Amino acid sequence: MKYILQRLAFYAVTAWAAITINFLIPRLMPGDPVEALMSRYQGQLDTTAIASLKALFGLDEHQSLWSQYTDYWSHLIDGDLGLSFTFFPTPVGEVISQSLPWTLALVGITTLISFLLGTGIGVYSGWRRGSWLDGLLPVTTFISAIPYFWLGLIAIALFAVKWQIFPAAGGYDNSLVPAFDWPFISSALYHGVLPGVTIVLSAIAGWILGMRNMMVTVSSEDYVMVAQAKGLSERRVMFSYAARNAVLPNISGFALSLGFIVGGTLLVEMVFSYPGIGYQLFQAVGAKDYPLMQGVFLIITLSVLAANLLADMAYALLDPRTRKEA
């Protein structure tokens, strides 16, 4: 428990530092890009919108840095991240909350699938070295060595253009109204197949190799030999003794990859024009939409921290030695 509290405190401080840096960066930027944009939208911005943009980007020079800082926080706590210029006059918070679920669903589910599948294959191939599973390794390693951009384009060229099995772009059929019904969900799933499969393909080799190596290492531990000598069933030895220990180092890797879901999704969503937060960021950069960029960066930072916290908790749950060190 003490361990978890310590970690919580650590992440709270880190989050505070990250947000403060997010506050400082636009104030250190040369020129006033936001001001330039604001003047372009002159007349379309109402006074509250101007006030919140000023607070977020530090355009109000008459205020002390400290009162700018407290202003910034009070806007953040209200969930007010300013207005997006690209989707003017939609608030940034709204843009993000519309695109974030797509990213979380697509990349979250596929990250989980690659982790579970890769770990499972790694457990078996590390336990039964020399089985047919080992033949799979060079193939998956080769695929993971292809830059994702390429893999995605090849997938589109083959399965969307040559054989028109799957759609090449988008998150759902545009003729449908997003709703929680079967036509929409099935369309979303259908659009998710190509990006999803390519993500799994490019990520799985890392999990397989990592887990296989750990299984090989752990298999020579004394306690695994003892478990064999005890005449336990092979399943018990393999899972409860070997895999249970071998998976521990992979937990933190998994947490990091969870953190990168939001940040690392840029490429996937660009290739497949997927309506997630990465695609949003791509568009924001193109349009010099600073409020949206800043909002996305904030979400990325917080998600990396949240994922790490999750990993620490999972670790504490799975490794009794951590609990003691607290």
Query: Applying CB under 8 A, which residues contact another protein?
Result: 220-223, 225-233, 236, 240-241, 244-245, 248, 318-321, 324
Q: CB–CB of 184/176 below 8 Å?
A: yes
Which lies closer to another protein via its Cβ, residue 8 or residue 318? 318
Which lies closer to another protein via its Cβ, residue 130 or residue 286? 130
Question: Rounded distance, CA 251 to CA 257, Å?
Answer: 10
Whose CA is closest to 125, among 112, 143, 111, 138? 138
Which lies closer to another protein via its Cβ, residue 155 or residue 251? 251
Give me the amino acid identity at 258. L
For the CB of residue 322, give the shortest distance to another protein in the complex, in Å: 10
Tell me the HSE value of 294 on the side-chain side, using a 13 A CA sphere. 26
Q: CB–CB of 83/37 below 8 Å?
A: no
Four-point Cα dihedral 120, 260, 153, 288, nearest 10: 170
Which lies closer to another protein via its Cβ, residue 40 or residue 230? 230
Q: What is the per-residue DSSP string for 131-143?
A: SGGGGHHHHHHHH
For the CB of residue 118, give the shortest distance to another protein in the complex, in Å: 21
Which lies closer to another protein via its Cβ, residue 78 or residue 234? 234
For the CB of residue 240, give the shortest distance to another protein in the complex, in Å: 7
Q: What is the DSSP letter of 147?
A: -
For the CB of residue 133, give the shortest distance to another protein in the complex, in Å: 18
Total residues found in the chain within this entry: 326
For the CB of residue 61, give the shortest distance to another protein in the complex, in Å: 58
Q: How far is the CA of 319 from the CAs of 123, 323, 324, in angstroms?
A: 18, 7, 10
For the CB of residue 45, give the shortest distance to another protein in the complex, in Å: 58
Tokens 């428990």, residue located: 1
For the CB of residue 231, give the shortest distance to another protein in the complex, in Å: 3
Among the residues of the chain, which ranges form H helices? 2-28, 33-40, 47-57, 65-77, 92-103, 109-127, 136-145, 148-156, 182-219, 222-229, 234-235, 244-246, 248-264, 266-271, 277-286, 290-318, 320-325
Which lies closer to another protein via its Cβ, residue 288 or residue 323? 323
For the CB of residue 246, give the shortest distance to another protein in the complex, in Å: 11
Which lies closer to another protein via its Cβ, residue 61 or residue 222? 222
Which lies closer to another protein via its Cβ, residue 142 or residue 223? 223
Q: What is the DSSP letter of 178?
A: P
